[in-house]
Amino acid sequence: MYRSHNCGELRTSHINTEVTLSGWVQKSRDKGFIVWVDLRDRYGITQLVFDEERTEKSLIAQAQKLGREFVIQVQGKVIERASKNSNIRTGDIEILVSKLEILNESILPPFTIEDETDGGEELRMKYRYLDIRRNPVKDNLIFRAKVTQEVRNYLSSDGFIEVETPYLIKSTPEGARDFVVPSRMNEGQFYALPQSPQTFKQLLMVGGMDKYFQIVKCFRDEDLRADRQPEFTQIDCEMAFVEQEDILNAFEGLTRHLLKEVNGVEIDEFPRISYDEAMQRYGNDKPDIRFGMEFGELNAVAQHKEFNVFNSAELVVGIAVPGGNNYTRKDIDKLINWVRRPQVGALGMVYSRCNEDGTYKSSVDKFYDQDDLAKWAEITGAKPGDLVCVLSGDANKVRAQLSALRMELAERLGLRDPKEFAPLWVLDFPLLELDEETNHYHAMHHPFTSPKPGQMELLDTNPGAVKANAYDLVLNGNEIGGGSIRIHDKETQAIMFKHLGFTPEDAKAQFGFLMDAFEYGAPPHGGLAFGLDRLVAILGGQETIRDFIAFPKNNSGRDVMIDAPAPIDDAQLTELSLKLNLKS
Amino acid sequence: MYRSHNCGELRTSHINTEVTLSGWVQKSRDKGFIVWVDLRDRYGITQLVFDEERTEKSLIAQAQKLGREFVIQVQGKVIERASKNSNIRTGDIEILVSKLEILNESILPPFTIEDETDGGEELRMKYRYLDIRRNPVKDNLIFRAKVTQEVRNYLSSDGFIEVETPYLIKSTPEGARDFVVPSRMNEGQFYALPQSPQTFKQLLMVGGMDKYFQIVKCFRDEDLRADRQPEFTQIDCEMAFVEQEDILNAFEGLTRHLLKEVNGVEIDEFPRISYDEAMQRYGNDKPDIRFGMEFGELNAVAQHKEFNVFNSAELVVGIAVPGGNNYTRKDIDKLINWVRRPQVGALGMVYSRCNEDGTYKSSVDKFYDQDDLAKWAEITGAKPGDLVCVLSGDANKVRAQLSALRMELAERLGLRDPKEFAPLWVLDFPLLELDEETNHYHAMHHPFTSPKPGQMELLDTNPGAVKANAYDLVLNGNEIGGGSIRIHDKETQAIMFKHLGFTPEDAKAQFGFLMDAFEYGAPPHGGLAFGLDRLVAILGGQETIRDFIAFPKNNSGRDVMIDAPAPIDDAQLTELSLKLNLKS
């Protein structure tokens, strides 16, 4: 037996107990006549003491040789500490060691195993197994396990059945970003790894499974943006015989449960907003509503003067920055430079200071009088002491720019409190999205998403205006889940395929087995998938998903610890009936 | 709202309630003046009634047009049934329908959706989404979900943390059966899909995670034997600071919990047997101990006469077949032919009838007298009325042959009751296994398995005799789990690698990152992995894992429903820097 207790559980009630502990040497302090060693395991830290008066000399000598991260086993007696440490749970006691065994030595770690480490990102990734010993990483992984267990318990008790769908599936021509897997037994043929279990969960609904969920890895071979992973985890859900309202209720319930159990936060009813309204009020389909700064559209009160920049703009829109009148001229110039950065792309920014005395001072006083500026303040909700920032131009672009500014200012103003949680449903997403390169519409969600009732006619006249039974769940400015009510009847599906530019033959080739399945009594159904990595990070009060993944990959899709991907040898390629065809 | 209740929940207490139900038409009976429809969903079947006296004519006409597997929604009143059906939970009531809507039609299914179906295996696999509608398949999937949820709850409450390890890992030269995944972003390089998360779980132990588990898909690209799948699910577990005894206790606890919660069977302590003893008593390292028929070794009482077949054999071994004296001469001849089949491979079989009067009649009476045969009966435990079957030859081969016969006879005698559960630990597996082709030893489990204390010396003199800290958990003659205590110190590991024929360079190339990790204070650790598919099947009283997998693949590794694997187009190959290199 390696231990009678772990390093986090001994208290004053254990005083005088003989115990055996095992763990890692966190650090030691050697005063010559007395040596303290902090012994660490997953559960905590317990102080070991070796001193001249009570410990054999040879044992002290042994203790003096212990290095950081040595793995040791000790026997000893729990005693009361002379100077207690209220920062750790075992701080009232220490172990007077009577026996010490080194279970394994350690060479010097490449970075210190402390909450605040001196190791950079790259180094910590290469030695991830050491990084995991650090509390912040370890606690994140334990937190993730707790969240997934809560998800499973909640959904299971709500009648959802977890069903494992296959990982070795079929690549479709649409699946340009599929990872493929050559089959040795089926020469020249390939499986694909699922980008999501979408078709399988729909088939489970056709199969009468009624309520399905799965916490499942998904895969996408795409150029990785910051904080994306080639493999990621979804909480994938689907329900039969449901309308949108049933889905929203089911997963609002789940999210509310998580917020309560995991964060101790009780939220009554999640607000709902349409996609159009979200774009109008926040310039964003995943607005962070922990703070205000809602958009005020100023066309009516800014396009009646000789200011051509505004007059020629499709949209003039502003936000009120709380306390922004404190900004110096230099601060504001910096802000203007910030919105002009290529990542944001605004041409400039107009501002109006709201003075405490009720007057205004704007960068466009030449064109606008106090009455005009008062209206800007009124529409953006600016109070004395605030600053109104105004952008103008093409509506879609200017909304995205102002949204970026809104988020940046909120960050600077400390309005994005990671301990505050503001969930929001965004409803009525557009069914179709215009691909500007090809000038073709394609499905915003996927081709089985159902349009809202009575909107089919619009498909011919104004396809971009058709709204779908599609919804996202947003938390603190991040999309944490999204889904839709699916089409389940052949006629609607045929019309959809036609409008998406599929010939019946194309449709059959790509979605044949699902369309076949729909011939045999498909029930009305719909679902939702949460991005688990993101959800866990946000519930954990952070935004970087990598910190919540045990062995993440870097931005090139590499695991730098195991050094993958890597070349494979020719024999293996030959057996797979493949040859390299390198471009370079 | 599609339904107020599901099809399994209405009882007499609901009589006179107005309800809305949705589901599939299981079948209908049309007597002209009255139509009954069985409406089915995941939860059960509810009878709908339409009759001349109480139902509008047009509604009856509608009902008469309903085909099997149509999806419908009905409104109506719960009424008491005239003739109750005690076979179903809703059998006391029926619904007098006032409104009927067809939600979706169905063409005629390729097989009947009934518990006993007319569909063959191939057809049911192709239309698996229809097969899942059948109770036996649906119930298996629900059963699997229940088992996994029990596993998670038990392990989580025991302090195990579920950690997701990566699916896109690195292929090793040892991994000849790895599925590989070309990386588009890293030209000419490949990931591999894990055959198990072995190295990652060991790294998690190095990382201080202490107790880890994961229910995880694993992959092996090998020629599929019957009832193997290229993707399969493991309950993967690892613990730090443990000895073998700790692991056995932890997972015996889990298995006992499952047997109790899932099967209502209480089993106190699991018997333990060494590998050597299992081979000696059952000829098998995964003996089914639901029944006896233990091996009796007869060398001492069968090699003293002139019977050369026995005298030249390394091992003469028999079993007593309960009641086998009833077999006719023809039955016994058939049995002899059965053991001579190439799949079993015995050259012949000697038998001795144990007559009710205490005399014996054997196929070798020419050589053996009644005293000899009495000893055979004594050693095999045969009673009057039994039949002693004796095989002889090379010890390893004859044990395997007699084990096959033992299992076959138990099957015929109905001794393998799927409702009875007999778990068993098999301990002290050999560390090394001789590869007869290359005449080299390789690790039976994996190269990190630790030898039993004090056995390292044997590595030089008699490598095949070295026993490992390796164990299997056997249930009803199936290995449901296996694991080992790992090596965690460099010296032992170096010796092991040497004996496995690795140069230090080879070892570094294949296991470099794990060996690096072991430099930084690796704790003693060990673990176990359950094969979930098999475990669930056995707990479910069956032995075919395919029946417990939602979308299984066939023996060629194909998913016949989605028709995967499949060719991919040249553009996709080019983008992956690959070319086909077909052999044919």
* Exposure letters B522-554 (e unless 16+ CB within 10 A, then b): bbbbbbbbbbbbbbbbbbbebeebbbbbbbbbe
Whether residues A410 and A438 fall in one domain = no
Tell me how far apart the alpha carbons of residues A512 and A506 are, in angstroms, rounded to a whole number.
9
Number of structural domains in chain B: 3
The pLDDT mean for chain A works out to 94
A175 pLDDT more than 60: no
The contacts found for B226-231 with CB under 8 angstroms, 24 or more apart, are B226/B555, B227/B543, B227/B544, B227/B545, B227/B546, B229/B533, B229/B545, B229/B546, B229/B549, B229/B552, B229/B553, B230/A168, B230/B179, B230/B553, B230/B557, B231/A166, B231/A167, B231/A168, B231/B553
Confidence of residue A173 (pLDDT cuts 50, 70, 90): low
Residue B173 is predicted with a pLDDT of 63
User: Which residues contact residue B524 at a Cβ distance below 8 angstroms, ignoring those fewer than 6 apart?
Assistant: A2, A71, A103, A104, B240, B241, B242, B243, B485, B488
Looking at the complex, report in whole angstroms how far the Cα of residue B259 sits from the nearest Cα belonging to chain A.
20
pLDDT in tens, A486-529: 999 878 888 888 888 888 888 887 788 888 999 999 999 999 99
For residue B560, being part of any structural domain is answered with no
- A577 at B interface, C-beta within 8 A: yes
Residue B458 is predicted with a pLDDT of 87
Q: Which residues pair with B316 in a beta bridge?
A: B392
Mutate: best of B168, B224, B490, partner A, most A CBs <10 A:
B168
User: Which residues contact residue B174 at a Cβ distance below 8 angstroms, ignoring those fewer than 6 apart?
Assistant: B510
- Residue B32 in contact with residue B50, Cβ under 8 Å? no
For residue B555, being part of any structural domain is answered with no
Whether residues B520 and B439 fall in one domain = yes
Residue B175 is predicted with a pLDDT of 56
Q: What is the average pLDDT across B424-434?
A: 94
The ipTM assigned to this model is 0.95
User: Domain boundary at A104, A131, A156, which?
Assistant: A104
User: Domain boundary at B379, B395, B415, which?
Assistant: B415
Residue B176 is predicted with a pLDDT of 66
Sheet holding A470-475, edge to edge: A161-162, A211-219, A231-240, A525-531, A478-485, A470-475, A423-427, A272-274
pLDDT in tens, A411-428: 999 999 999 999 999 999
Mutate: best of A218, A562, A573, partner B, most B CBs <10 A:
A562
Q: What is the average pLDDT across B258-274?
A: 97
Residue B257 is predicted with a pLDDT of 98
Q: Is the dihedral of CA A574, A576, A578, A582 positive or negative?
A: negative
Q: What SS3 class is residue A564?
A: strand
Looking at the complex, report in whole angstroms how far the Cα of residue B578 sits from the nearest Cα belonging to chain A.
5
pLDDT in tens, B93-150: 999 999 999 999 999 999 999 999 888 889 999 999 999 999 999 999 999 999 999 9
Residues of A in contact with B39 (CB under 8 A): none
Nearest Cα neighbor of B96 from B184, B15, B198, B212 is B15
Q: Hey, how many other C-beta atoms are within 10 angstroms of the C-beta on B18?
A: 12
Q: Which two tokens stand for residue B13?
A: 């207490």
> Maximum CA pair distance of chain A?
92
SS3 content of chain A, % helix, strand, coil (to 5): 30, 25, 40
Q: Hey, how many other C-beta atoms are within 10 angstroms of the C-beta on B489?
A: 15
For residue B6, being part of any structural domain is answered with no
Crossing angle of helices B532-539 and B244-263, rounded to 10°: 40
For residue A572, being part of any structural domain is answered with no
Whether residues A79 and A199 fall in one domain = no
Whether residues B396 and B436 fall in one domain = no
Least trusted range by pLDDT, from A199-203, A227-231, A356-360, B72-76: A227-231
Whether residues A453 and A497 fall in one domain = yes
Q: What is the average pLDDT across A370-392?
A: 98
pLDDT in tens, B160-214: 999 999 999 998 765 568 999 999 989 999 999 999 999 999 999 999 999 999 9
Residue A176 is predicted with a pLDDT of 65
Q: Chain B residue closest to A109 (CA)?
A: B520
pLDDT in tens, B446-502: 888 999 988 888 888 888 899 999 999 999 999 999 999 999 987 888 888 888 888
CATH number of the domain that residue B73 is part of: 2.40.50.140
Residue B222 is predicted with a pLDDT of 84
- A167 at B interface, C-beta within 8 A: yes
For residue A567, being part of any structural domain is answered with no
CATH number of the domain that residue A301 is part of: 3.30.1360.30
For residue A455, being part of any structural domain is answered with yes
pTM: 0.95
User: Domain boundary at A415, A439, A474, which?
Assistant: A415
Interchain proximity B170–A565, CB inside 8 Å = yes
- A495 exposure class (CB count in 10 Å sphere: 0-12, 13-18, 19+): middle
Q: What is the average pLDDT across A343-357?
A: 96
pLDDT in tens, A311-342: 999 999 999 999 999 999 999 999 999 999 99
Whether residues A370 and A400 fall in one domain = yes
Whether residues B485 and B378 fall in one domain = no
Whether residues A431 and A505 fall in one domain = yes
Of B6, B204, B565, the CB nearest to A132: B204
Whether residues A263 and A380 fall in one domain = no
pLDDT in tens, B313-330: 999 999 999 999 999 999
Residues of A in contact with B524 (CB under 8 A): 2, 71, 103-104
Tell me how far apart the alpha carbons of residues A230 and A193 are, in angstroms, rounded to a whole number.
11
Residue B30 is predicted with a pLDDT of 95
Looking at the complex, report in whole angstroms how far the Cα of residue B310 sits from the nearest Cα belonging to chain A.
44
Q: Is the dihedral of CA B148, B151, B157, B162 positive or negative?
A: negative
pLDDT in tens, A207-226: 999 999 999 999 999 877 77
Q: Is the dihedral of CA A497, A499, A500, A504 positive or negative?
A: positive
Whether residues B365 and B433 fall in one domain = no
Q: Chain A residue closest to B567 (CA)?
A: A189
Tell me how far apart the alpha carbons of residues A504 and A491 are, in angstroms, rounded to a whole number.
12
- B485 at A interface, C-beta within 8 A: no
For residue A125, being part of any structural domain is answered with no
Tell me how far apart the alpha carbons of residues A75 and A10 are, in angstroms, rounded to a whole number.
14
Q: Give residue B145's Cα distance to chain centre.
A: 15
For residue A435, being part of any structural domain is answered with yes
Whether residues B390 and B429 fall in one domain = no
Whether residues B384 and B259 fall in one domain = no
Q: Which residues pair with A94 in a beta bridge?
A: A79
Range of the domain at A91: 12-104
CATH number of the domain that residue B480 is part of: 3.30.930.10
Of A104, A192, A517, the CB nearest to B521: A104
Q: Hey, how many other C-beta atoms are within 10 angstroms of the C-beta on B383?
A: 12
